[in-house]
Structure 1
Amino acid sequence: MTSYRDLIVWQKSMSLVAFVYKMTMQFPTDEKFGLISQIRRSAISIPSNIAEGYGRNYRKDYSRFLQIARGSLFENQTQLEIAVNLEYIKVENLEEIKELSIEVEKMLNSLIKKLEE
């Protein structure tokens, strides 16, 4: 592997970001600096931390950044649930993004475990 771009978990998390951006375009405009901003920032944090961790020279640092990415993923999952509760997202739409999110979560867990062995 020559780059973080080769990591499937990074690629999937980039897809998650694109999905989140498309979904939040449908939110009420008064949420622009509230929930929309929070959801987008937490989503962006996922691939960003995967990439930053990959660039570190130490496995322990890399693992730590992957844990931060996982935390951002959980934050994003929670914010999307809030959006459903506020009826900004339909439950059907949440299910689609939830599947991708869970896939990224499993990949992060696996990579973290592998680095910590």
Structure 2
Amino acid sequence: MNKANFEYLQIFQLAEKLADMIWDIVINWNSFEKDTIGKQFTPAVDSIGANIAEGNGRYNLQDNLRFIKIARGSLYKTRY
């Protein structure tokens, strides 16, 4: 199967690498850390790439930009 257009974007590739790195770290945490920080951290980092992909699947520029802004918000959430 061919790659979707967004999969060639460097920002999407970086988002995927970041998500993989975070999952590798969180998987080794103890139960308390996973159930507190991990339950917010991993969905936030996963949603960066997911929102880039979803925005790319929209048919107009405004929808695409809205999802890109959501992805940026998720990135900032992971920094917190």
Question: If the length of structure 2 is used for normalisation, what is the TM-score?
Answer: 0.89
Q: Which runs of 5+ in 2 are unaligned?
A: none
User: How do 1:1-117 residues align onto structure 2 when only pairs under 5 Å count?
Assistant: 3-78=5-80
Give the alignment's Cα RMSD to 1 decimal: 1.1
The percent of aligned pairs where both chains have the same amino acid is 31
Q: Which residue of 2 aligns with 1:82?
A: none
**Structure of larger gyration radius:** 1
Q: Which runs of 5+ in 1 are unaligned?
A: 79-117
Q: Secondary structure at the match of 2:35?
A: coil
Matched residue count: 77
Map Cα deviations across residues 34-87 of structure 1 (whole Å, 9 max, x no partner).
Answer: 211111000000000000000000111111100000000000110xxxxxxxxx
Runs of 4 or more above 3 Å deviation: none
Q: Secondary structure at the match of 1:57?
A: coil
Alpha-carbon distance, 1:22 to partner:
1.1
